[in-house]
Structure 1
């Protein structure tokens, strides 16, 4: 019984300690692209200019991607 209560206390302590883990796991870095319209758009509410690129569909690439996917993961049956 004593081992169980110690184990339960340890689990609770670790889970409570991990709640703020990501708050301490940060690093301040300078944003070299700050203000760049290509990445961030004209304003914070607008889409980035690079998202406006549209590409034509090429079905032969989908076939090739499916071959690679099948080779990596095997056949997936539904």
Structure 2
């Protein structure tokens, strides 16, 4: 009985390992990238930053206060440097 149970668990484990190789194989979509050569989205080169990430915004202190309140609500009181 014990050896049968061991063999059965081995077969089940082997089945899980075999199916894990194709995990989410069909959970993707193959489609043409309409912005494939768009420098604004991807930058001039694969390793360069995109143009849209170089935008600079004027600082708004009232948003910092709101952001800090949201952080405190989610993670508790503390500073950003303390970590979780």
| Structure 1 stretches lacking a partner, 5+ long | none
In the alignment, what sits opposite 1:61? 63
Aligned partners of 2:13 and 2:45: how far apart in 1? 46
RMSD of aligned Cα (Å): 2.6
Q: Does 1:9 align with 2:11?
A: yes
Offset, 1:35: 1.2
TM-score, normalization: structure 1? 0.67
| Structure 2 stretches lacking a partner, 5+ long | none
TM-score, normalization: structure 2? 0.64
- Paired residues, what number? 77
In the alignment, what sits opposite 1:47? 49
Offset, 1:18: 0.9
Aligned partners of 2:6 and 2:60: how far apart in 1? 60
**5 Å matches for 1:2-41?**
2-41=4-43
Offset, 1:10: 0.6
Greater percentage in helix: 1
